[in-house]
């Protein structure tokens, strides 16, 4: 297949730049502890300096893979599917989510919300970033807001983002892994003073699983 043909299929969502896929336990947020199949899509230009999957940023490093192949493989492991990145909304998620939904899957997305929302979702985890703020639509539709705390200034950012989500959205503060020993006490103190927030931890890293 010619490069131009592949690029068109990617643009249409018939193929996606697949970085990796794996069956594991969701380690973060509301669904922590749940077995789920993760689909990590390459491509992201949000550019968080503390990102722990920077190898996902360059979509051209990850092979365009037929959406049907991704769906078939995912559903052979689990009916709970998490699509993450990179920034998955860089691409049109309509085809992959409809294909998963037609076969009874529960579909979650982890997104910065920086791009327009495409696809159908059972759960939207919004993790906003300062460099590219989320769209108003995604903020209103998010089921959980997960703000990564790298320093004390991130609490003010978290509050600004919390103003944009619905009243039913669950609010989480999660320490950035590399500074967790310093940040966890600050988060605990903040949540105790502001109990509308909950603490999220990257439990999969403590469990030493993907």
Tell me: is residue 26 an annotated ligand-binding position.
yes
Q: Is 107 annotated as a binding residue?
A: no
Q: Is 127 known as a binding-site position?
A: yes
84 labelled binding-site residue: yes
Residues present in the chain in total = 210
| 13 annotated to bind ligand | no
Q: Is 48 annotated as a binding residue?
A: yes
Edge-to-edge strands, sheet with 35-41: 64-66, 15-25, 35-41, 80-84, 106-111, 123-126, 144-149, 170-175, 197-199
Ligand-binding site membership of 44 (annotated): yes
Q: Is 125 annotated as a binding residue?
A: no
Helix (H) or strand (E) holding 148: strand 144-149
Spatial separation of the C-alpha atoms in residues 40 and 30, rounded to whole Å: 19
197 is in an annotated binding site: no
Determine if residue 121 is labeled as part of a ligand binding site: no
User: Is 12 labelled a binding residue?
Assistant: no
Q: Is 106 exposed, middle or buried (0-12, 13-18, 19+ CB in 10 A)?
A: middle
Residue 25 known to bind ligand: yes
Packing angle of the helix pair 67-75, 94-102 (nearest 10 deg):
40
Q: Binding site annotation covers 116?
A: no
Is position 200 annotated in a ligand binding site?
Answer: no
* 52 assigned to a ligand binding site: yes
Binding residue positions for substrate: 25-27, 40, 84, 210
Binding residue positions for S-adenosyl-L-methionine: 50-52, 86, 127-129
Binding residue positions: 25-27, 40, 44, 48, 50-52, 84, 86, 127-129, 210
Binding residue positions for [4Fe-4S] cluster: 44, 48, 51
């Amino acid at each position: 297949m010619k490069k131009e043909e592949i690029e068109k299929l990617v643009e249409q969502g018939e193929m996606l730049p697949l970085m990796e896929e794996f069956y594991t336990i969701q380690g973060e947020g509301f669904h922590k502890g749940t077995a789920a199949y993760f689909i990590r899509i390459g491509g992201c230009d949000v550019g968080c300096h503390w990102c722990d999957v920077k190898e996902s940023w360059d979509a051209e490093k990850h092979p365009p893979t037929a959406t049907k192949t991704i769906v078939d493989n995912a559903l052979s492991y689990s009916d709970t599917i998490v699509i993450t990145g990179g920034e998955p909304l860089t691409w049109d998620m309509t085809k992959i989510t409809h294909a998963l939904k037609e076969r009874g899957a529960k579909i979650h997305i982890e997104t910065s919300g920086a791009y327009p929302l495409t696809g159908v979702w059972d759960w939207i985890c919004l993790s906003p970033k300062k460099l590219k703020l989320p769209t108003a639509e995604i903020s209103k539709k998010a089921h959980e807001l997960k703000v990564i705390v790298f320093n004390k200034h991130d609490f003010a950012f978290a509050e600004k983002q919390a103003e944009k989500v619905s009243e039913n959205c669950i609010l989480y503060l999660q320490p950035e892994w590399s500074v967790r020993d310093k940040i966890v006490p600050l988060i605990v103190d903040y949540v105790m003073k502001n109990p509308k927030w909950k603490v999220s931890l990257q439990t999969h890293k403590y469990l030493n699983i993907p």
